[in-house]
């Protein structure tokens, strides 16, 4: 049987704005991504069943009015609650990146919430992420298809409301279940530019989280803005000893997209998924 | 019924969000709404009951004044209509939403103090504040007062008795506007006597009086802002005017010379300029200013500036996609706290209350914060990376700041089988207005920015942008409707609103010979924000986020459906005709009927006058008043002090709050290297599948103009070209844009300077072969007002020219960054250094006592020499021989070395003893701002090949990049000895203080 490509649906509309580069990353990783306006999905909600991965990309849906991600999540909930439940019942993946993460927490399928950065200002810079080791006796991150083979990752953030808030009780539970996807750490980039590790003041340094057995990922940093090697601030230092041959290597962020696509293509899964 | 929903963060209570809702919803529905506005993890809500908070003494509520765009209110409106599946409030009288923010203040007991605090939290021009003590709130709750617009009843259209008006009355109408029925004036038409007489003659010929809308319409299309009369009129013996002779003239000459290698596609004919990107795409660029509005409401001014210029991209050809934003701020010094007022003191006397009535001007710090935030919200919300930018300070920008905003765009060369840069409406096409609705905002914006700012400047000239409404519009047009071929032409509604966009499209129609384009508009079909607008207001309003399109009848249904699905409002407001007339109707009554031909402006002769020497000239032969400072000065201290100047040091606090990585296109970012220095030039890759890169930069030297406007202009072009080449750009694929921001442009002396500056543009651009593709001017950046004691004050900006550049490089992988990389790399200075400290940062900041900035030799440009240098460097970069390159700009060689070291956080050890050129003194060698110079570092293994390429140009080997922290410059003896860490701290000090 011929392997069909993994089908990805990327939401757009009302001020989401990272859909094109997110599509590029999924397509480059071997997937087949469609950008679908939320109103088109509302008018044909059944099409969601054709996809294996649902992505809420970054952006500024509704200009962050009334709180980031809230209004878009309201619209999604108002019209597509049933379809979302059905989608999550299947063996599917969901990702929310940046504004998408804010949307997904407002949808209620990821715990916690996001609020204003500790310095109060929008900030665009690179950060270093670490995938925490799983708690003892738990399979932990091994469960998340998104994170296969990833231990560290340097990627940029760009947000005004990226401070992740979670109660201590929930945090301990998440930690136990291996549901912390990424924490900020002082790694390669922070050392290079002498930057603080956690720029937004996130509780417990959390940059990304998981739910639904690791199938749903939410993260503030933008892996699609780190899919090319040249996007890294260190690239100009490392241009192979000054231009031996300019590298066109993949950036570290691409692995996340590859992982998701490969999760299905490894199974030889068809578009209708879990059957 | 009016209800209030309060939402606050669970743990913190310094502020509360409030949504005032007029409605007839049930309590149950109100709870549903409140829940939708609350994220239960972090927030909690209450309805009609002030929430429980920590102790506070006063609450300050800040809301919008009636009619001011309330973006948050709109979002809540949409959320509610979506929640209950009812139509939005604009089509539904049943409910309306007004957002506000309530700040809780503790520890302040004095009402005076709290009033002062309230004033710092809002701009009374667009917002209102309400103060209540906590005891008050406990007792009565907060006021329930909807910010509804209620307009007085007016006769919709009046005739203006012009035929019998005498000269005085004509001047009066031109200056203060049409007289209302109650005798008040409507605000400036900015029409001078000659124009008013031309209008009088025209209507005498028609044997009737003009209507108010006709007069307002003419004022818009004839305004300096729209027509650029000063650049178009004959001036001295330059019969065709400055623009045609020198700017367009230069572009034409260059294009002709290039022949088949011409890369220009659309020059000065559309909303942006367009050049070839590759075989499949064009890249466009446009830079605008939004100065007058930014003086009154800095946030609103800057945000409408940036989203407005985005529309110049969407309105290029059949619609280009915005791919990069640029910005520039020329501001007063933030520490300046002198108060100025638009009005003289009132007879009731002085004092705080009195002063508030005198229309106080905003302080520079407030303006700075506002404009920075405006570009932040406008760019970030729109998903367009903000790449290039600068900030300059001078006391003369104190009253009228200059706010530059620009956008580069991308469009396929062929759309639906036709060249995408060509567009023409056809007779019979519907005139369709798309996007936002029309309100009173921005009435008289075009005419207002054409006059001096004084107490008559209208407050309605201020607008607030709504980037999300525009983002929806932009996506629907350039990502969908364009490629479906649903319209024949498109343009932006900017200055002058519909009156300009419709007339422009009608003028450019596709018609058989002998026929002239026209339009017929039914104004009552224009969607309004609130009822009660008069026809002339609808016609000239500059409400934001609107485009005008010509849609063939057969495509209207499909177009309408698409817009509806994308949440974008579209309305047919009339049709294009071949009558040669612009006809406007209101409720079936013809209220305007003008010949399209008459809308073109009659020309006037202008004259210049050479100002006395100095300070306004200088030129090549002026004596070198400054031969550099005394030897033995503390050069280290001078360098450190210079690096700490706000015009030189870093502004990472701005760069890092602007999203520069969205669209995943960034290559050379606004901040670079270990030390995060600001780059002069940025590179991005608009098409992720292509290796081609686009290079952006900009340059301005306002203080050079104090000595020579000619050299100010020439140096700005040379620097823009040099910056581009230093990052890896291509001289043979480089286009430039001009922005002239002048003052008192009816003064022949200022016109003389203007003529000089424009001539330099032509000479330098032709010399480099870099055509102008777009430009803009803002000619009256003057303020007339009063100081605190009522003394009249006039502040004019220094004549300022900004040159922006855009270049395409074949392979973005060859981009190089400005900072030093590795110890052992050899440091070269390309070009020659002369005694040219005049107008530069050293004289302005370090040595003002010995020589004022007006003295000394201002830098000059030797195009022929510099071209050779630039081509050689371009070759070396293409051969991948350079490790870093930084253009030597403000502050000279010393500052370039410091920045390269701070960027790499790595030391250097150089000698300036043998640098090329006539500079003799250490001061000149270190700080002269001679043009044509680039500081390059090269790996030792590439040194020989690099030197070979440089064989025929002037260059000097200065020394080496060194391991560790030492920053050493030697002449005959050691002249500078400091540490990179210290320089890093100094470089970032200003920026860190602004965080």
pLDDT in tens, B875-917: 999 999 999 999 999 999 999 999 999 999 999 999 999 999 9
CB contact under 8 A, B658 and A121: no
Q: What residues of A are annotated to the active site? A: 98, 222, 224
* Per-position DSSP letters for B377-429, written without gaps between them: HHHHHHT--EEEEEEEE-GGGSSS-EEEEEEEEEEESEETTEETT----BTTP
A274: distance to nearest CA of chain B, Å? 32
A contacts of B17 (beta carbons < 8 Å)? 66
Identify the pLDDT of residue B560: 96
Rounded to whole angstroms, the maximal C-alpha distance in chain B is 86
B contacts of A58 (beta carbons < 8 Å)? 662
Interface residue of B664, B816, B823 to substitute, partner A, most A CBs within 10 Å: B664
Residue in the structure block whose two tokens are 């004259």: B607
> If you measure CA to CA, which chain A residue comes closest to B11?
A165
CB contact under 8 A, B83 and A78: yes
Identify the pLDDT of residue B602: 63
Q: Determine contact, residues B643/B891, Cβ cutoff 8 Å.
A: yes
Q: Determine contact, residues B321/B407, Cβ cutoff 8 Å.
A: no
B contacts of A12 (beta carbons < 8 Å)? 475
Asked whether the predicted pLDDT for residue B695 surpasses 80, the reply is yes
Asked whether the predicted pLDDT for residue B351 surpasses 60, the reply is no
Task: Measure the CA–CA gap between B607 and B600, rounded to whole angstroms.
Answer: 22
What is the count of residue pairs from A and B with beta carbons less than 8 Å apart? 174
**Token reading at B887:** 């253009």
Identify the pLDDT of residue B357: 61
Residue in the structure block whose two tokens are 């286009």: B735
Q: Is residue A162 part of a domain?
A: yes
For residue A92, the domain's CATH number is: 3.40.50.880
| pLDDT average, residue stretch B176-188 | 82
- Smallest CA-to-CA distance from B949 within B865, B863, B882, B857 is with B882
The mean pLDDT value of chain A amounts to 89
pLDDT band at A242, cuts 50/70/90?
A: very low
Lowest mean pLDDT among A165-169, B190-194, B411-415, B826-830: B190-194
Identify the pLDDT of residue B460: 57
Lowest mean pLDDT among B17-21, B746-750, B981-985: B746-750
Identify the pLDDT of residue A273: 38
B contacts of A188 (beta carbons < 8 Å)? none
Lowest mean pLDDT among A195-209, B223-237, B346-360, B682-696: B346-360
Lowest mean pLDDT among A211-225, B5-19, B874-888: B5-19
Asked whether the predicted pLDDT for residue B67 surpasses 90, the reply is no
Q: Determine contact, residues B289/B371, Cβ cutoff 8 Å.
A: no
Q: In the 8-state DSSP scheme, what is residue B481?
A: I
Report residue B56: phi and psi, to 5°: -145, 160
- Smallest CA-to-CA distance from B462 within B565, B357, B541 is with B541
| pLDDT average, residue stretch A25-51 | 96
| pLDDT average, residue stretch A98-112 | 96
pLDDT in tens, B297-348: 899 899 999 999 999 999 999 999 999 999 999 999 999 999 898 888 766 5
CB contact under 8 A, A17 and B37: no
| pLDDT average, residue stretch B957-973 | 95
Task: Measure the CA–CA gap between B831 and B194, rounded to whole angstroms.
Answer: 51
The domains of chain B are located at: 2-140, 816-995
Identify the pLDDT of residue A219: 98
Asked whether the predicted pLDDT for residue B504 surpasses 70, the reply is yes
CB contact under 8 A, A230 and B812: yes
Q: Determine contact, residues B432/B560, Cβ cutoff 8 Å.
A: no
Asked whether the predicted pLDDT for residue A29 surpasses 80, the reply is yes
pLDDT in tens, B458-488: 445 567 778 999 999 999 999 999 999 999 9
Asked whether the predicted pLDDT for residue B446 surpasses 60, the reply is no
CB contact under 8 A, B79 and A74: yes
Identify the pLDDT of residue B770: 95
| pLDDT average, residue stretch B492-497 | 86
| B130 bridge partner residues | B61
B947 Cβ neighbours under 8 A, 6+ residues apart:
none
Task: Measure the CA–CA gap between B201 and B186, rounded to whole angstroms.
Answer: 23
Q: How far is CA B200 from CA B111, B128, B205, in A?
A: 55, 42, 9
CB contact under 8 A, A20 and B816: no
| pLDDT average, residue stretch B767-793 | 91
Identify the pLDDT of residue B178: 86
Identify the pLDDT of residue B111: 82
A contacts of B382 (beta carbons < 8 Å)? 17, 60
* Per-position DSSP letters for B426-467, written without gaps between them: BTTPEEEEEESPB-STTTTHHHHTTS-BSTT--GGG-----H
pLDDT band at B797, cuts 50/70/90?
A: very high
pLDDT in tens, B807-820: 999 999 999 999 99
Percent of chain B with pLDDT over 70: 92
Interface residue of B101, B659, B687 to substitute, partner A, most A CBs within 10 Å: B659
CB contact under 8 A, A18 and B673: no
CB contact under 8 A, B657 and A14: no
Q: Which fold has domain B816-995?
A: Phosphoribosyl-aminoimidazole Synthetase; Chain A, domain 2 (3.90.650)
Nearest neighbour of B468 by CB, restricted to A15, A166, A230: A15
Interface residue of B41, B387, B817, B994 to substitute, partner A, most A CBs within 10 Å: B41
Asked whether the predicted pLDDT for residue B14 surpasses 50, the reply is yes
Q: Three-state SS for B806? A: strand
Lowest mean pLDDT among A195-209, B377-391, B850-864: B850-864
| B16 bridge partner residues | B102
Identify the pLDDT of residue B445: 56
Domain of A121, in residue numbers: 7-265
| pLDDT average, residue stretch B499-503 | 91
Within B834-939, where are the H helices? 841-845, 863-878, 892-904, 922-927
Identify the pLDDT of residue A137: 46
Q: Three-state SS for B241? A: helix
pLDDT band at A119, cuts 50/70/90?
A: confident
Task: Measure the CA–CA gap between B96 and B66, rounded to whole angstroms.
Answer: 13
Q: Is residue A214 part of a domain?
A: yes
Asked whether the predicted pLDDT for residue B385 surpasses 80, the reply is yes
b (16+ CB within 10 A) / e for B876-897:
bbeebbbbbbbbbbbbbbbbbb
Q: In the 8-state DSSP scheme, what is residue B247?
A: I
Asked whether the predicted pLDDT for residue A77 surpasses 70, the reply is yes
pLDDT band at A54, cuts 50/70/90?
A: very high
Q: What is the CA radius of gyration of chain B?
A: 29
Identify the pLDDT of residue B136: 85
pLDDT band at B115, cuts 50/70/90?
A: confident
CB contact under 8 A, B821 and A237: yes
A183, A187, A193, A199 alpha-carbon torsion, rounded to 10°: 10
Torsion A22-A26-A27-A28 (CA) sign: positive
- At how many degrees (to 10) do helices B635-643 and B980-994 cross? 30
**Token reading at A86:** 């059905």
A206: distance to nearest CA of chain B, Å? 16
A224: distance to nearest CA of chain B, Å? 7
Identify the pLDDT of residue B849: 45
Q: Is residue A241 part of a domain?
A: yes
CB contact under 8 A, B42 and A65: no
Task: Measure the CA–CA gap between B957 and B828, rounded to whole angstroms.
Answer: 5
pLDDT band at B603, cuts 50/70/90?
A: low
The mean pLDDT value of chain B amounts to 88
Higher pLDDT, A138 or B221: B221
pLDDT in tens, B841-879: 998 888 654 444 445 689 999 999 999 999 999 999 999
A contacts of B668 (beta carbons < 8 Å)? 236
Instruction: Count helices and strands (H / E) in chain B.
Output: 31, 39
Asked whether the predicted pLDDT for residue B144 surpasses 80, the reply is no
B353: distance to nearest CA of chain A, Å? 33
| pLDDT average, residue stretch B13-28 | 90
Nearest neighbour of A24 by CB, restricted to B467, B674, B688: B688
Q: Is residue A270 part of a domain?
A: no
Higher pLDDT, B274 or B181: B274
Q: Determine contact, residues B777/B271, Cβ cutoff 8 Å.
A: no
B553: distance to nearest CA of chain A, Å? 25
A264: distance to nearest CA of chain B, Å? 25
**Token reading at B871:** 């081509």
CB contact under 8 A, B880 and A242: yes
pLDDT in tens, B524-546: 999 988 877 889 989 988 888 89
| pLDDT average, residue stretch B788-798 | 90
Asked whether the predicted pLDDT for residue B828 surpasses 60, the reply is yes
Nearest neighbour of A124 by CB, restricted to B41, B659, B664: B659
DSSP H or E run through B941: helix B940-950
Identify the pLDDT of residue B723: 98
A contacts of B472 (beta carbons < 8 Å)? 13-15
| pLDDT average, residue stretch B616-645 | 60
pLDDT in tens, B929-941: 999 999 999 999 9
- HEC assignment per residue over B44-93: EEEECCCCCCCCCCEEEEEEECCCCCCHHHHHHHHHHHHHCCCCCHHHCC
DSSP H or E run through B751: helix B748-768
Torsion A19-A22-A24-A27 (CA) sign: negative
B303 Cβ neighbours under 8 A, 6+ residues apart:
B374, B375, B377, B378, B464, B465, B467
**Token reading at B161:** 């008795």
> If you measure CA to CA, which chain B residue comes closest to A41?
B565
Q: Determine contact, residues B650/B676, Cβ cutoff 8 Å.
A: yes
| pLDDT average, residue stretch A264-269 | 72
B contacts of A60 (beta carbons < 8 Å)? 380-383, 467-468, 471
- At how many degrees (to 10) do helices B467-476 and B298-314 cross? 0
Q: Give pTM, 2 decimals.
A: 0.92
Residue in the structure block whose two tokens are 């605090």: B117
The total domain count for chain A is 1
| pLDDT average, residue stretch A207-221 | 96
Q: In the 8-state DSSP scheme, what is residue A112?
A: S
Lowest mean pLDDT among B188-192, B444-448, B949-953: B444-448
Identify the pLDDT of residue B141: 77
Q: Is residue A274 part of a domain?
A: no
Higher pLDDT, B461 or B420: B420
Q: How far is CA B535 from CA B214, B764, B827, B830, in A?
A: 11, 47, 66, 62
> If you measure CA to CA, which chain A residue comes closest to B676?
A193
Asked whether the predicted pLDDT for residue B591 surpasses 80, the reply is yes
Task: Measure the CA–CA gap between A92 and B30, rounded to whole angstroms.
Answer: 36
């Amino acid at each position: 049987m011929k392997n069909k490509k993994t089908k990805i649906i990327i939401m757009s509309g009302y001020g989401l704005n990272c859909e094109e580069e997110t599509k590029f990353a999924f397509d480059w990783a071997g997937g087949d991504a469609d950008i679908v306006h939320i109103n088109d999905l509302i008018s044909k909600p059944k099409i969601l069943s054709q996809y294996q991965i649902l992505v809420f990309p970054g952006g500024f849906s509704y200009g962050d009015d009334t709180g980031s991600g809230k209004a878009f999540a309201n619209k999604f909930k108002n019209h597509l609650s049933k379809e979302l439940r059905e989608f999550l019942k299947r063996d599917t993946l969901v990702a929310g990146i940046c504004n998408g993460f804010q949307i997904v927490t407002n949808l209620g399928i990821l715990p916690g919430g996001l609020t204003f950065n500790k310095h109060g200002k929008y900030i665009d810079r690179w950060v270093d992420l670490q995938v925490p080791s799983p708690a003892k006796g738990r399979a932990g991150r091994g469960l998340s298809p998104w994170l296969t083979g990833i231990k560290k990752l340097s990627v940029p953030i760009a947000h005004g409301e990226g401070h992740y808030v979670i109660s201590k009780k929930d945090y301990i539970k998440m930690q136990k279940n291996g549901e912390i996807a990424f924490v900020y750490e002082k790694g390669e980039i922070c050392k290079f530019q002498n930057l603080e590790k956690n720029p937004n003041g996130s509780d417990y340094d959390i940059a990304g989280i998981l739910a639904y057995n690791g199938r749903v990922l939410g993260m503030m940093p933008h892996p699609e803005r780190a899919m090319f090697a040249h996007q890294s601030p260190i690239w100009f230092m490392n241009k192979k000893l000054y231009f031996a041959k300019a590298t066109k290597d993949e950036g570290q962020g691409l692995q996340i997209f590859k992982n998701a696509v490969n999760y299905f293509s490894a199974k030889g899964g068809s578009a209708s998924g879990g059957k | 019924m009016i209800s209030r929903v309060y939402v606050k963060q669970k743990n913190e209570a310094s502020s509360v969000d409030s949504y005032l809702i007029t409605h007839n919803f049930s309590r149950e529905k109100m709870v549903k709404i409140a829940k939708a506005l609350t994220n239960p993890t972090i927030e909690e809500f209450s309805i009609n009951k002030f929430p429980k908070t920590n102790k506070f003494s006063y609450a300050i509520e800040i809301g919008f004044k009636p009619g001011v765009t309330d973006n948050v209110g709109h979002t809540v409106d949409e959320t509610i209509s979506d929640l209950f599946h009812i139509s939005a409030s604009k089509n539904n009288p049943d409910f309306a939403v007004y957002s506000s923010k309530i700040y809780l203040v503790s520890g302040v007991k004095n009402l005076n103090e709290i009033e002062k605090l309230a004033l710092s939290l809002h701009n009374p021009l667009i917002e209102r504040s309400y103060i209540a003590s906590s005891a008050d709130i406990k007792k009565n709750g907060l006021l329930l007062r909807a910010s509804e617009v209620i307009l007085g009843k007016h006769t919709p259209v009046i005739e203006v008795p012009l035929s019998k008006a005498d000269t005085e009355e004509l001047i009066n109408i031109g200056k203060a506007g049409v007289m209302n029925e109650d005798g008040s004036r409507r605000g400036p038409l900015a029409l001078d006597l000659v124009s008013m007489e031309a209008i009088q003659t025209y209507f005498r010929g028609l044997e009737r009086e003009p209507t108010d809308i006709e007069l307002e319409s003419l004022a818009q299309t004839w305004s300096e802002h729209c027509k650029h009369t000063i650049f178009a009129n004959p001036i001295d013996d330059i019969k065709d005017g400055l623009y045609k002779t020198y700017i367009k003239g230069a572009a034409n000459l260059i294009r002709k010379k290039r022949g088949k290698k011409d890369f220009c596609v659309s020059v000065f004919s559309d909303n942006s300029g367009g050049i070839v990107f590759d075989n499949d795409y064009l890249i466009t660029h446009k830079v605008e200013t939004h100065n007058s509005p930014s003086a009154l409401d800095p946030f609103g001014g800057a945000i409408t500036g940036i989203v407005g210029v985005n529309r110049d991209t969407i309105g290029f050809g059949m619609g280009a996609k915005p791919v990069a934003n640029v910005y520039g701020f020329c501001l007063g010094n933030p520490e300046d706290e002198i108060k100025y007022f638009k009005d003289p003191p009132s007879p009731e006397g002085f004092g705080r209350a009195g002063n508030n009535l005198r229309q106080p001007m905003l302080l520079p710090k407030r303006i700075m914060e506002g404009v920075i935030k405006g570009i932040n919200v406008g760019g970030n919300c729109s998903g367009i990376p903000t790449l290039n930018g600068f900030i300059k300070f001078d006391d003369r920008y104190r009253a009228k700041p200059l706010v530059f905003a620009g956008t580069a765009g991308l469009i396929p060369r062929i759309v639906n089988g036709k060249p995408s840069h060509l567009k023409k409406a056809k007779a019979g096409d519907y005139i369709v207005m798309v996007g936002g609705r029309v309100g009173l905002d921005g009435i008289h914006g075009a005419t207002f920015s054409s006059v001096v700012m004084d107490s008559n400047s209208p407050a309605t000239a201020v607008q607030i942008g709504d980037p999300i409404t525009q983002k929806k519009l932009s996506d629907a047009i350039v990502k969908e409707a364009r490629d479906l071929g649903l319209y024949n032409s498109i343009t932006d509604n900017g200055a002058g609103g519909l009156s300009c966009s419709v007339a422009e499209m009608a003028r450019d129609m596709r018609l058989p010979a002998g026929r002239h384009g026209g339009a017929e508009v039914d104004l009552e079909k224009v969607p309004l924000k609130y009822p009660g607008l008069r026809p002339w207001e609808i016609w000239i309003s500059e409400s934001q986020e609107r485009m005008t399109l010509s849609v063939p009848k057969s495509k209207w249904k499909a177009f309408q459906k698409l817009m509806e699905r994308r949440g974008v409002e579209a309305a047919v407001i009339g049709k294009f005709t071949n009558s040669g007339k612009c006809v406007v109707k209101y409720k079936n009554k013809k209220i305007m009927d003008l010949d399209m031909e008459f809308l073109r402006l009659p020309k006037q002769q202008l004259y210049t006058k050479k100002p006395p020497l100095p300070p306004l000239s200088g030129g090549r032969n002026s004596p070198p008043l400054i031969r550099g400072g005394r030897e033995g000065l503390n050069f280290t201290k001078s360098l450190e002090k210079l690096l700490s100047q706000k015009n030189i040091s870093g502004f990472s606090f701005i760069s890092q709050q602007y999203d520069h990585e969205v669209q995943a296109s960034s290559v050379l970012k606004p901040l670079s290297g270990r030390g995060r220095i600001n780059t002069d030039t940025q590179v991005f890759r608009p098409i992720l599948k292509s290796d081609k890169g686009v290079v952006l930069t900009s340059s301005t030297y306002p203080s050079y103009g104090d000595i020579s406007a000619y050299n100010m202009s020439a140096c700005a072009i040379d620097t823009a070209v040099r910056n581009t080449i230093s990052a890896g750009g291509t001289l043979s694929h480089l286009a430039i844009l001009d922005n002239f921001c002048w003052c008192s442009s009816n003064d022949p002396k200022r016109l003389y300077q203007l003529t000089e500056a424009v001539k330099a543009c032509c000479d330098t651009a032709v010399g480099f072969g870099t055509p102008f593709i777009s430009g803009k001017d803002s000619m009256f950046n003057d303020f007339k007002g009063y100081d605190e004691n009522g003394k009249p004050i006039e502040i004019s900006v220094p004549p300022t020219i900004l040159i922006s550049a855009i270049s395409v490089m074949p392979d973005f992988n060859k981009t190089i960054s400005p900072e030093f990389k590795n110890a052992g790399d050899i440091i070269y200075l390309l070009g020659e250094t002369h005694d040219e400290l005049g107008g530069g940062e050293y004289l302005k900041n370090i040595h003002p006592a010995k020589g004022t900035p007006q003295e000394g030799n201002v830098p000059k440009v030797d195009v022929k020499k510099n071209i050779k240098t630039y081509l050689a460097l371009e070759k070396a970069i293409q051969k991948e021989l350079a490790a870093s390159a930084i253009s030597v700009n403000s502050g000279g060689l010393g500052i370039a070395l410091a920045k390269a070291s701070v960027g790499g956080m790595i030391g250097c050890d150089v000698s300036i003893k043998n640098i090329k050129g006539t500079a003799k003194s250490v001061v000149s060698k270190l700080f002269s701002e001679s043009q044509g110079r680039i500081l390059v570092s090269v790996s030792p293994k590439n040194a020989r090949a690099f030197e070979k390429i440089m064989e025929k140009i002037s260059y000097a080997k200065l020394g080496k990049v060194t391991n560790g922290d030492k920053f050493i410059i030697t002449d005959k003896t050691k002249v500078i000895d400091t540490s990179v860490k210290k320089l890093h701290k100094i470089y970032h000090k200003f920026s860190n203080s602004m965080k």
